[in-house]
Structure 1
Amino acid sequence: MNYTWPLIIKFIMMTVVLWIVLGLFGASFVNILLISILLTLVSYMLGDLFILPNYGNLWATVADFGLAFIGVWALGSFFDQIGFWAAFISAIVIAIGEAFFHWFMNQQVLEDEEPIRNDMSERNLQTEFGSDMDVKSDAEKANKNKNQE
């Protein structure tokens, strides 16, 4: 599959949202680009390539919301003193955009891929049958051998 275009689309979406929201809170454009690059790479690999095919759109959107909130809050407070509300509003807008992006990923990119989930319920497990030792008959044989001696 070609992952380049979805990554570019996600980066543009992330940059535009953060530029609008964090720009209102006084963040510099260079710091917004750095936050966008880091969040795009991490959320693409974790949310879009792992969680989305294995657990679906809802859980991938929830994971992207949490990642965006924590990432914007942590990186924003490190770079530009961005606070809780800026991170929360950014995460909500990003999560809404991510829900549509996940639909696009499912339709265009992940349509032929198999999930990599390791559920025991989906495996074809087999058992091995063997003959068990009959304890009673072995004990009787031991008693017969003692009686014969």
Structure 2
Amino acid sequence: MEHFKALALKFLATLALLYIILGLYYGMTFGTVFLITLIVGIISYIIGDLGILPRTNNAIATLADFGLALAVIWVMISLLTASTNAFTMALFSAIGVAIFEFFFHSYMANILKNPQDRNDQTKRRDLQYQTEASEEFTPEVNKDYENRR
């Protein structure tokens, strides 16, 4: 269920972002933007978020998602439209997707953790620490030894 929520969040955010860049700025139709978002979202979720992110860190996964988004969006724009500046459109779109992915990876890192680990973190926050104190600052070691004689 958590993967479905993450995929839905990623799809909606990417759709809004790509519609602003490709739809409103470059005049692409909503259906084309929807199809590009669907393909980019599924491929980058499987390869970037489930494949690369657990094995590396956020920066490497974001760079991989940037390259993946650039390639997929560039090919999709070239195939679906008759635009002459497909690379520029894909570049600006991929930069926007990479910025979103940088923040999305922190959400994904929490999902990919073992549920036991997430519960352990919650338990660790509930610990109450106490300080042990005594009345004397320097112990008198020889006092007991002298009383025994």
Note whether the superposition's TM-score is higher than 0.5.
yes
Which amino acid is the alignment partner of residue 93 of structure 1? G
Segments of 4+ moved more than 4 angstroms:
none
Query: What corresponds to 1:110 in structure 2?
Result: 112
- 1:100 is aligned to 103
Q: Secondary structure at the match of 1:72?
A: helix
Partner of residue 2, structure 1? 2
State the secondary structure of the residue aligned to 1:81: coil
1:29 aligns to what?
A: 30
CA distance in structure 2 between the partners assigned to 1:81 and 1:51 by the alignment: 33
Task: Report if the CA contact (8 A) 1:28-1:80 is conserved.
Answer: no
Q: How does 1:62-81 map to 2 (within 5 A)?
A: 62-81=63-82
1:101-148 alpha-carbon deviations (Å, 9 max, x no partner): 0011112x11228xxxxxxxxxxxxxxxxxxxxxxxxxxxxxxxxxxx
Q: CA RMSD in A?
A: 1.3
Residue 55 of structure 2 aligns to a residue whose secondary structure is: helix
1:142 is matched with: none
Matched, 1:16 2:16: yes
CA deviation map 1:79-110 (0-9, x unaligned) = 12341111101000100000000011112x11
Aligned to 1:121: none
Output the TM-score relative to the length of structure 2: 0.72
User: How far apart are 1:2 and its partner, in Å?
Assistant: 2.5
The code of the aligned residue for 1:57 comes to N
Aligned residues of 1:68 and 1:94 also touching (Cα < 8 A): yes
1:65 CA drift (Å):
0.3
CA distance in structure 2 between the aligned counterparts of 1:49 and 1:81, rounded to whole angstroms: 34
Whole-Å separation in 2 of the counterparts to 1:79 and 1:112: 41
Asked if 2 retains the 8 angstrom alpha-carbon contact of 1:11 and 1:40, the reply is yes
* Aligned-partner SS, 1:53: coil
Letter in 1 for 2:105: H
**Structure 1 Cα separation of the partners of residues 82 and 70 of structure 2:** 14
Report how many aligned residue pairs link the two structures. Answer: 112
Instruction: Tell me the secondary structure at the aligned position of residue 54 of structure 2.
Output: helix
What's the CA shift for 1:17?
1.1
What is the one-letter code of the residue matched to 1:41? I
Partner SS state of residue 3, structure 1: helix
Number of the residue aligned with 2:127: none
Find the residue that maps to 2:53 and give its secondary structure. Answer: helix
In structure 1, C-alpha distance between the alignment counterparts of 2:18 and 2:82, rounded to whole Å: 14
